[in-house]
Amino acid sequence: MHSVPRLVIAGAGSGVGKTTLVALLALAFRARGLRVQCFKCGPDYLDPTWHKRASGREPQNLDSWMMGREAVLQTFVDATQDADLALIEGVMGLFDGAEPTRDTGSTAEISRILQAPVICALDAKGVARTLLPLYLGLRNFDPELNVCGLLANRVGSRGHLDLLKKACGSELLGGLPKDEALTIPERHLGLHAALSDVFDQERIQTWTALAQEWLDLDRLWELASGAPPLAVEPTPAQTGTESRCRIAVAYDEAFHFYYSHNLQLLQKAGAELVYFSPLQDKVLPPNIQAVMIGGGYPELHAEALAAQEDMRTSLRNFAAQGGTIYAECGGLMYLSRSIRTLDGHEYPMLDLLPARTIMQDRLQALGYTEVEQETDTMLGPAGLRFRAHQFRYSLLQEEEDIPKVWRLRGKRSSAVVQEGYARGRILASYAHGHWASNPAIAQNLVASLTQKNGDREKR
């Protein structure tokens, strides 16, 4: 049995302040000396950057459609082995998920899997007593859920909070004032990532003080501590795992969309991960067998990426020498010949795939997809399957035919799309795969790199 105090911070929809509340709670409980582990329901990459800065620990995604129930439970238990408190941020509204008539992939499903108390975050702007029936609707919709408290956001004043307390009684556990200091900037893929210039020490101190002043931390801790034990044992820690290969992982302002679970699977399989910045570094790390380039915002940094000719040459040389490159979404864009931004400017990229990336002013793809591999690749044999997610505003305009080794079938559509761009030892896609749906992928990739490295040494 595994026991850890925990809370799910859910909402009636997006934009009600869930990320802000989780970050404030993490900061406030850390200030009390607790080790706080954060999680994000769903496929989001950006909200977890705020969790990481606030908690000081690596957050994890929990997505029941991509991962499956058992992987959700195991991921949660493994990540909280040494934690004093777990905070789980919901996705969209409490009951919104992969299907309109079921709660698959929703915050509600994750809450049931984790047997976690649910706190509802609601926007209080312009309401007083009406907040209570909004909350009661969420609390009573599913009797199996332990919805046990309410936090109000965008409260107008102390007087407004007093009105809300009189209306909602003991259900209200505090509220956050409408304050510019609590605003998180947004852009087309969601919130800005919480890099050091956005979530600096001044903001951290301000948010900690606001949480201590406005939220009932004692009552929230009491509710979190009432969560029952989970009948799952932590995965035994690996000791003395020998490094079998080195993988360079692109990580900076342009590329930082990775599922922590995938990277940890690679490490468990024997990969040593070394990080580099396509924006700042001039050459790749030494003695590597593969490069991973995740998603992010290459379009916002296209001019700077184009100016880093030394790094682009280093990556081209690595590919020309037979190096393995795996890229997702933003990484795929970087591998193309160029990126054309919305203002009409075109910036040269790696030119490792004969295509151009064209930014669009409208969303081009959004949603879950299942991937089936049609030929053998470094990820495994033909027939391999895994689940993934897409969210993009760009199109890839092929200038020569590029072999495609994947079939993508959308969760909400029966249409099949040929994707998975392959060229030599390059494999790239717009799909962000979650390898909990097929953990063998990490083992296959490391094995292919180990075998390739061994063949080179024999020669």
Confidence bin at 179 (pLDDT 50/70/90): confident
* Whether 122 contacts 18, CB under 8 Å: no
What does the DSSP 8-state code read for residue 437? G
CB atoms within 10 A of CB 307: 14
pLDDT at 238: 72
pLDDT of 458 higher than 50 = no
With a pLDDT cut of 70, the percent of the chain lying above it is: 93
What Å distances lie between residue 151 and 100, 120, 184, 327, CA to CA? 26, 6, 18, 40
pLDDT at 241: 64
pLDDT at 101: 85
Is position 329 annotated as part of the catalytic site? yes
> Which helix (H) or strand (E) is 173 found in, with range?
strand 172-177
What Å distances lie between residue 447 and 99, 240, 242, 455, CA to CA? 37, 18, 13, 12
Block residue for tokens 């989001």: 44
What Å distances lie between residue 291 and 143, 271, 381, CA to CA? 48, 12, 20
pLDDT of 96 higher than 70 = yes
Which of 189-203, 261-275, 409-423 holds the top average pLDDT?
261-275
What Å distances lie between residue 230 and 83, 116, 227, 329, CA to CA? 15, 10, 9, 36
Confidence bin at 194 (pLDDT 50/70/90): low
Write the CB contacts of 339 (distance below 8 Å, at least 6 apart in sequence): 298, 299, 302, 333, 346, 347, 349, 356, 357, 359, 394
pLDDT at 103: 86
With a pLDDT cut of 90, the percent of the chain lying above it is: 82
Block residue for tokens 């108390």: 117
449, two tokens: 């790199």
Start-to-end CA span in the chain (Å)? 51
Query: Which one of 38, 168, 245, 329 is the catalytic residue?
Result: 329
Which position has the higher pLDDT, 238 or 246?
246
pLDDT of 187 higher than 70 = no
Write the CB contacts of 236 (distance below 8 Å, at least 6 apart in sequence): none
- Per residue in 26-57, pLDDT (tens digit) is 999 999 999 999 999 999 888 898 899 999 99
117 Cα distance to chain centroid: 22
pLDDT at 54: 92
State pTM to two decimals.
Answer: 0.91
Which residue segments constitute the domains of the chain, with CATH numbers given? Answer: 6-225 (3.40.50.300), 245-458 (3.40.50.880)
